[in-house]
Every structure is written in structure tokens, then in C-alpha cells.
Structure 1
Amino acid sequence: MTDLDHRVGVRESNLVVRNLRLSKVKDENIEALIKEIDKMFGLDEVSFNRKEESIHLAYDAVNLNLAGIEEVIRKHGADIHDDWWTRTKEGYYKFVDQNVKDNSDHTPWSCHKTPPGSVKRKR
């Protein structure tokens, strides 16, 4: 896939996929929740599995993060499920999101380049 296969604001190199279990989800709040998340800049796709009560997200970790999505989830009366596995995944997801964002700003360097202003010796 290329960057053109995704929504505006999503780069293939920064794309992450997340699955989180939710609690306090009702038919009244899930539609509004999904619609609001779907409008966020940097989101590629969102869906909700009613049987497992889990949300599936694909987004660009540079333009969007899990904390911003969680605010929308809580705003609509739902919450992230409070069990060991979901908390572990949530912590790992936040760590990776921050790592992707930090790496996008980093300028790679090489110890084999000559320093600026130096002259190569001719033999």
C-alpha cells in the first residue's frame, strides 16, 4: 500500500492498528461515538464489534494519539474496559504511539559523513 491508499493525514509509515475492549457501551452512545471518532484528523478507519464490545482503530500516530480518542470515548459515556489485559495493551499502545511520534521528528545521522566545513584529503 501507499500513502494514497489512506485518508488525508495518514502516512503508511506512521499507521498503527489498535483494538481495545470498551465498557458502558449502549446503542444510544455507540453511534455518536463512532461518528465523532471517524471525523478526527489522522484516522484511517474505525469500527465497533458489538459482540465483543471492542473498538478497532487504525490511525496515524503522528497526527492522532490514543489519549485523544479516549477523551471522545469518555465524553459519550463509554470507557476503556478495566481489566489487566486491556490496561496492559493500552499502556503498550501509548508507548508505541509516542515512539512513532518521536521518531518522525528525528533526523538520522551517520558517523561516516565528513563534518561540515572539513576538506577531504587527496592522495
Structure 2
Amino acid sequence: MKTKEHRLGVSEINLVTRHLKLEPSDEETILAAVSDIDELYGMDSVFFDARKWRLYLAYDATRLCLDCIEEILKKHAVKISQGWWNRFKEEHYRFVDQNVKDNARQEPWSCHQTPPTERRKR
């Protein structure tokens, strides 16, 4: 099985993909924002579809979150569509990003581990 090479700082196990619809605005401004987003540590790929006004993102959720990306879009005066479906997806993306971060910090635990040999009865 062949695995895809990811950018530095991106772990495949924490990789998430996002699709955001943007409000129509100046395409050069959007491309400048996309260029800044592409430079973020932990970003695997970013693509803007000018025909559908959608931003496609793939990033490591332990290093980045949707709020970091929205901050850059806000800096460039690019607005995310405020339709109900887009707002719903944004909240779900925030929840999943936080869940990935929390799970990455959590130490795995199992009650089915064998006891240490020194405490085992003979």
C-alpha cells in the first residue's frame, strides 16, 4: 500500500479536510489569503475553486484549527458565507478539531492490559 507524502508538521492520523463556501469578492484578495493560509505550519493543502467560491483545506488538527484560518481570511477581508449549512459545518468542524486535539493529548488506556509480572501470583 502506497502512502501519500505529507508536508512537514502534518500527521496522517490527525489530517482533516474542510470545505468552506466564501462570499463573492475580489479574486486577487482571496488568492492572497490562500497564499498566507498555505504558509501555515501544519497545513497540508489549500485550494480555492473560483467557479463554486469554495475553499478546500486539508490540515493537521493538532497544529491548526478553523479559527486560525478564519483569522487570516478576516485579515484579508474575505468573508465566509453565512448560510445555515455553512454555519452548521463550521460548528461541526470546530467540535471535531477540538476533539482531535484532546485525543492527541490523552494517554491511551485499556482495562484489558496484562498485569505487571512482579505482582502476578504464582
Confirm or deny: 8 A CA contact 1:37 1:46 kept in the other structure: yes
Ranges in structure 1 where 5+ consecutive residues have no aligned partner: none
When the two chains are superposed, the root-mean-square deviation of aligned CA atoms in Å is: 1.8
Q: Does 1:81 align with 2:85?
A: no
Confirm or deny: 8 A CA contact 2:24 2:53 kept in the other structure: no
Distance of 1:105 and 1:61 partners within structure 2: 12
Query: Hey, what does 1:107 align to over in structure 2?
Result: 107
What's the CA shift string for 1:68-121, capped at 9, x where partnerless? 000001110111101100000000011001111111111111213366796100
Query: Hey, what does 2:28 align to over in structure 1?
Result: 28
Q: Name segments (4+ residues, structure 1) moved above 2 Å.
A: 112-118
- What is the DSSP-based 3-state SS (H/G/I as helix, E as strand, rest coil) of the residue aligned with 1:47? strand
What is the TM-score when the length of structure 2 is the normalising length? 0.91
Aligned-pair identity (%)? 47
Q: 1:25 to 1:116 in 2, by over 3 A?
A: farther
Q: Does 1:72 align with 2:84?
A: no
Query: Hey, what does 2:51 align to over in structure 1?
Result: 51
Confirm or deny: 8 A CA contact 2:20 2:54 kept in the other structure: yes
Aligned-pair CA distance for 1:25: 2.6
Ranges in structure 2 where 5+ consecutive residues have no aligned partner: none
Distance of 1:119 and 1:91 partners within structure 2: 48
What's the CA shift string for 1:18-68, capped at 9, x where partnerless? 000011431230121011000000000000011111100000000010000
Distance of 1:24 and 1:71 partners within structure 2: 18
What is the TM-score when the length of structure 1 is the normalising length? 0.90
What is the one-letter code of the residue matched to 1:29?
T
What is the one-letter code of the residue matched to 2:13?
S
What is the one-letter code of the residue matched to 1:96?
V
What is the one-letter code of the residue matched to 2:95?
F
- What is the DSSP-based 3-state SS (H/G/I as helix, E as strand, rest coil) of the residue aligned with 1:112? coil
Distance of 2:68 and 2:10 partners within structure 1: 16
